[in-house]
Structure 1
């Protein structure tokens, strides 16, 4: 798969970077931040990114193109280029492309492009079935082995330290977590993410054992995760993969995450699954402390298992992309979903 090019309309995306690098390709973030995301300017932003994407494709002339969705509009320049050149393309469809109200109303566009893609990558069986119902191929890639920066030295005080990885999106039960943290004073909590997205009253009312780190560099983030006893990654939206959770597993750290089927499938070991309520989160944190050695050992076992699964998935993707259009597979098979 020479000259694989991955286009993402985002300021950053470690999943896109990871897939491209693991498959021997290049990842490009195409993002016109100057236009913002206001309804009055977003069309100009998308037009700018469409032109930039087409120009990138024309210059690079890739043999295979991957494109991230959302936004599903990012598929437009990729489809145009690939239709003219006969280049195969793959859509990496995040959960938001299906379930976020902003994009769910555009499912007819997503369906159009998925039927023309070599495959659509999704993170769980629920979304896989939805794509297959469109008559399109779907491949499950729950997570991708991550290339980590060299960690910055990080020394944490206290008996227990746990890191909540947050982006402060509307599906993250932050208030419930803060209430749970107040019930676990024996644990020091470190909350990553850009605090400019938070109201000042949330920051000022946080329990004394909660520290907001702000947005961290890659090195500082890896150092903090490795120094923590566990990583917490929460959502109250079903069918949502937790990238912070699988990054933690690849770093050998156990996880506390939400109790949904797709997350139980993705994290069967080394993980405490909790309902996204303050009581449930607090109980999960205490369970992690009580049985920490057990969960830490299981996290290492799960890490090795995930690496094996990725090799199977990567082989499947390569086989799809190396096939000629005449031998394009029927839209039912998918890559292995467990090991």
Structure 2
């Protein structure tokens, strides 16, 4: 039985991981990705492409990611007509995260309808899972993100390619406006001996980075090939993830822990309940606070070693948690290799 994992976007690391562990076929679709003014045309084109794909592949199970909610809604049409199962993975609750006003209320109605109509729903953190249950979602399961241990070693030639400073930090972003890339760059510019490398999709970040007028020790490296990105994380000294996104448990935090990177991030309940003391938290997200913390981590090797050890222990805990959650997912919706 074919199980199709569908994302309307150029990438979806979470769905990559879930498809691999339960034996599904992962498909990404995108048209005119990026600019919001293309959204109506983009969603219409994706609606048609998705229906064609589903009718051609005839999957027995469709696992569709929200947002955008129009992806699972399109798959719901197929599942009803073909009498197949639809599982919706709510990367976030779109209404609460990005949209307000009348449009937000419409999006909220569609999300409630999809969650109640799907055979089952999954969420990446406890806050989204609770919200889905409140919305009337059926069979809601909490499935955290997971990233396998980064097996790469420190690559000195790769470090020299990107920086000549003794300390290199990495900040990976997806492009959300509440990710404080500008604050990270401004703070890094005040720390001697540090280079900050910002990575992420050019469609969302390139112009924004150019507008920052970043200091010389802050560089945008683009969206790197997977192998180079993994080697780069293994070669950096620390990581930064500053954001005021509500309810969000950033996927990159799992990546950084998997690479044993001492990580500086914004304090949020949903983050602390998963990562505990394995991360260094910012209480205020003020530039001055970030400068102080970056200077401490850049100059104190013992501090970095402490957080590397904490990351290693936390990854072992997350591996055990992941194995348990995958068992729950398989019991909820058994999936077989196609």
Q: Which residue of 2 aligns with 1:268?
A: 276
Change (3 A) 1:117 1:265: same
| 124-133 vs 166-175, greater mean Cα deviation | 166-175
The residue aligned with 2:169 is 162
Q: Once the two structures are superposed, what CA deviation does each residue of 1:265-290 show, in whole Å capped at 9, x if it has no partner? A: 22224311113221222233244343
Query: Aligned equivalents of 2:123 and 2:104: distance in 1?
Result: 15
1:189-228 deviations in Å (ceiling 9; x for gaps): 212233523263413xx22322222232212211211100
Taking a change above 3 Å as real, the CA distance of residues 150 and 87 of structure 1, as seen in their structure-2 partners, is: farther
Taking the aligned partners of 2:151 and 2:309, their CA distance within structure 1 comes to 23
Indicate the residue corresponding to 2:144 in structure 1. 142
CA contact (8 A) 2:197 2:219 kept: yes
Distance in 2 of aligned mates of 1:297 and 1:150: 17
CA RMSD of aligned residues (A): 2.5
Q: Which runs of 5 or more structure 2 residues have no equivalent in the other structure? A: none
Report the 3-state secondary structure (helix = DSSP H, G, I; strand = E; otherwise coil) of the residue aligned with 2:158. Answer: coil
Deviations 1:106-162 (A, max 9, x none): 111000010122322222222222111122232222212359798986124433211
When normalised by structure 2's length, the TM-score is 0.85
Question: Higher helix proportion, which one?
Answer: 2
CA distance in 2, matches of 1:165, 1:146: 17
Task: Map 1:191-210; keep pairs closer than 5 Å.
Answer: 191-193=198-200, 194=202, 195-198=205-208, 200-203=210-213, 206-210=214-218
Asked whether the equivalents of residues 150 and 234 of structure 2 are also in contact (C-alpha less than 8 Å), the reply is: no
- More displaced, 169-178 or 21-30? 169-178
Give the Cα separation in 2 of the matches to 1:149 and 1:66: 29
> Which residue in the other structure is 1:5 paired with?
4
Measured at CA, do residues 7 and 201 of structure 1 come closer, stay the same or move farther in structure 2, by a change above 3 Å? closer
Match of 2:91 among 91, 94, 108: 94
CA contact (8 A) 1:67 1:90 kept: yes
Asked if structure 2 preserves the Cα contact closer than 8 Å seen for 1:50 and 1:76, the reply is: no
- The verdict on how the C-alpha distance between 1:38 and 1:158 changes in structure 2, with shifts beyond 3 A counting, is closer
Task: Name the structure 2 match of 1:181.
Answer: 188
* Equivalent-residue separation in structure 2 for 1:263 and 1:304 (angstroms): 17
Seen in structure 2, the aligned counterparts of structure 1 residues 113 and 148 have a Cα distance that, compared at 3 Å, is farther
Moved more, 230-239 or 291-300: 230-239
SS at match of 2:319: helix
Structure 1: which 5+ residue stretches go unaligned? 324-339
In the TM superposition, residue 243 of structure 1 has moved relative to its aligned partner by 1.3
C-alpha deviation, 1:186, in angstroms: 3.0
Q: Which residue of 1 aligns with 2:119?
A: 118
Q: TM-score, normalised by structure 1?
A: 0.85
Shift of 1:178: 2.3
- Which one of the candidate residues 72, 75, 80 is aligned to 1:75? 72
Secondary structure of residue in 2 paired with 1:298 = helix
Work out whether residues 168 and 174 of structure 1, in 8 Å CA contact, stay in contact via their aligned partners in 2: no
**1:43 — aligned with what?**
40
| Separation (CA, whole Å) in 2 of partners of 1:298 and 1:142 | 19
CA contact (8 A) 1:122 1:140 kept: yes
Q: Name 2:134's counterpart in structure 1.
A: 133
The 8 Å contact of residues 86 and 118 in structure 2, kept in 1 or not, is answered as: yes
Listed as ranges, the matches of 1:194-233 within 5 Å are: 194=202, 195-198=205-208, 200-203=210-213, 206-233=214-241
CA distance, structure 1, for counterparts of residue 296 and residue 87 of structure 2: 41
Task: Give the paired residue count.
Answer: 318
